[in-house]
Amino acid sequence: MPRPTLGCMTQRALIVGGGIGGLTAAVALRRAGFDAVVLERAPELRELGAAISLWPNAVSVLRRLGLSETIETLATAQAEGGLRTWRGDRLADAPLGRAADRFGAPRLLLHRASLQAALSGALDAGVLQLGSECCGVQQDANHATVTLADGRSERGDFVIGADGLHSTVRAHAFGEEPPRYSGYVAWRAVVPLDETLGGRIHLAESWGRGSLFGITRLGGSQIFWYASAHASEDAGGSAFAEKADLLRRFGRWHDPIPELIDATAAEAILRTRLYDRPPLARWSAGRMALLGDAAHPMLPHLAQGACQAIEDAAVLADELAGSRDVEGALAAYGKRRSQRAAMAMRRSQQVASFAHLSNPIAVGLRTLAFRSAFPSAFARGLSSVVDDECGQPHRRRQSASFPRE
């Protein structure tokens, strides 16, 4: 197909940030005929100890990008799940296995590094430029320029800030504003699964008073676990101190949670303070636009952060491919995505608040509510997040963004 052009020149996209959102944007834009380059500050792509959930809204986009064979081979379809109390009593089952029938795609789990490798592997050589740290962005009536820390600069027709929570592009487009601390800390790790643990693993999320612990299975013989709890922003210590803190917090929880923590090497446990920001009224300023966490950082408790970034990338390519007006297309992209992303942000905050209730009476009422109403509430909540036009960017109109598989 012909490349989109501005005058007589191929349009060039400068994507700052080589995370999931930035790489997906590069794949989508290049499928649509744009010349895209990804500027990533890290000298190599490394995502240690982390898995990622891809809900059907994200899987559908990746399928249309032609990546399903690679990604679904690497991933594990999640057909079971649910909620338990910290003692191990079942609260409710989550009908994850019905996702493929209801939404046309499964819920997948895979290592974040595997997803990054699949996305970067879909790009031509030279598109991903590692060791390229953005330190400034300028624009004029016709172009945008990214200045790099090593003194180089890259010039293009527009800049996409996919550079995360502390986005440099966001600061240049909308000014400096620190993110807000949520009051929660998260831990996560990947653990080899031995025979003594295999038969005792329940793939579920367990809720206590002010904290939660989740267990799920990766491909092969690996378990991914995660936890979160109330904590002060300045809390934290060495790797061994963090592991000791986890054993103190979860050491009396149901089997095999204490054993999983104990079996995890201290240096393999990642600790992350959780931040977010208020929703933005607009996502673009001239020839600069934001994507993913740079636009809508959200808490992980809805497992939609990366999924929403993948949706962003599809809609971005869709709007740009259908217009010769770059600034207008970027504004339309933000308008089309902002309400849905803001909804996901709010839902993430609501789930986090509900999951981390500390008052014993409130926790007891939560238990009663889940036992009586969880299945229908889960289905309604899942539909509101997954079954949406923005998750199916070509349902409304076909464009040249990228072919269906």
Model pLDDT, residue 403: 35
Model pLDDT, residue 399: 39
E strands, 102-256, where?
Answer: 108-111, 128-130, 134-139, 144-148, 153-156, 158-161, 180-192, 205-207, 211-218, 222-230
Rounded Cα distance, 172 and 117, in Å:
30
Q: Which CATH architecture has domain 5-179+277-391?
A: 3-Layer(bba) Sandwich (3.50)
Model pLDDT, residue 284: 98
- Say which residues have a Cβ less than 8 Å from residue 345's Cβ, sequence separation at least 6: 276, 279, 296, 297, 298, 299
Q: Can you give the pTM of this predicted structure? A: 0.90
Domain residue ranges in the chain: 5-179+277-391
- Say which residues have a Cβ less than 8 Å from residue 237's Cβ, sequence separation at least 6: 245
Rounded Cα distance, 13 and 184, in Å:
36
Closest to 390 in 3D by CA, of 327, 296, 326, 324: 296
**Cβ contact 80:356 at 8 Å:** no
Rounded Cα distance, 163 and 170, in Å:
9
Q: Which residues of the chain have pLDDT under 50?
A: 1-3, 5-8, 390-391, 393-405
Model pLDDT, residue 205: 92
Model pLDDT, residue 198: 67
Rounded Cα distance, 378 and 80, in Å:
13
